[in-house]
Amino acid sequence: MIKVLIIDDEPLARSLVKECLKPFQDIEIAQECNDGFEGVKAIAQHQPDLIFLDIQMPKINGFEMLELIETPPAVIFTTAFDEYAMKAFETHAVDYLLKPFSKDRFEKALQKWMSQKNAKEVQSPQDFIDKRNPQPEEHSRVVVKKGSNIIIIPVNQIHYFEAYDDYVKIHTKDGMHLKKKTMTYFEGMLDVTQFVRVHRSYMINLQELTRIELMEKDNHIALLKNGVQIPLSQTGYAKLKTVLGI
């Protein structure tokens, strides 16, 4: 049996996918999910082979949901016209269905996945997720997982980012969160006038900066409002001066 999940916030859209799946006897719909939160839980619970995923959903979008899963299953995206998502699809080998889609188109997508699966060359969506263009709402928030909780952090609440092996530590007023991403990813995602990469391992929120101090010789540090000291690299110090216009 092949296990699939349908994740879409519109019941009728889900029922359409369900109907398209009817002729496939060996496919079992493990669960239908209303949003990304349910999706994350259901994926952990059912370990599906394939998910049908909408992009525009409440609180967190389909991409953000995928980012919260360690090893995401194969994905077929289902979405209405969406210029940001379209750009992402066109440049990557992930299949997508544009609503409203025909049964033929649906079966083609499914067959493509099945033949990839049989040839054992299913591509993990990981690569796609890392390289895609962010949706507009993602510039203003970061979604992380803490235990089984999903936390949405508005970027204004972030004090600074710190590199930590394969992860990035996100320091906020409420504490620290981990996300399996690179500093470069966040640097590309966030507003460059608000967040400045001041060091290979640090990126600070300018709103949190109170002072720049000279430690010894050419070594500077940035002092944040909460008292934390962030080391500045030569280039980081230069970049900070340019952004602040000093």
Partner 1 sequence: MSFTGKAKIFTLYLSWWLLWIFVQTLVIVQAGFGWEIAITDAAITQLVIAIAGYAINTSMHSYQPSAKNSIYVLIWSLALTFLSLALQRWLLIQFLENNLAFISFLDASLTVRGGFTLLMIMLIAVLTWFWVYFSDKQESEKRKQDSERLAREAELSSLRLQLQPHFLFNSLNSINALVVVEPERARTMIHQLSDFLRGTIRKDTTLIKLKEELDHLQLYLEIEKVRFGHRLQTKIEKSEESLTAEIPALLLQPVVENAIKFGLYDTIGETIISIEASRIGKDLLIEVKNPYDPETAQAKKGTGFGLTAVQRRLYLHYAQNNLVQTKQEAGIFTTTLRIPQI
Interaction site with partner 1 (CB under 8 A): 9-13, 15-16, 19, 34-35, 37, 56-59, 80-82, 98-100, 137, 140-141, 152, 154-156
Least distance in angstroms from the C-beta of 80 to partner 1? 4
- Cα–Cα separations (whole angstroms), residue 133 to 60, 83, 137: 16, 10, 12
Contacts of 79 (CB under 8 A, 6+ apart): 54, 55, 56, 62, 85, 96, 97, 98, 99
Find tokens 């092949």 and name the residue.
2
Q: Which is nearer to partner 1, 103 or 211 (CB)?
A: 103
CB-based burial label for 136 (10 Å; 0-12, 13-18, 19+) = exposed
- Complex with partner 1: residue 59 or 108, whichever CB lies closer: 59
| Spatial separation of the C-alpha atoms in residues 209 and 202, rounded to whole Å | 13
Integer angstrom CA distances of residue 128 from 79, 93, 117? 16, 8, 18
Candidates 190, 195, 153, 194; CA nearest to 174 is 153
Distance CA 111, CA 181 (A): 32
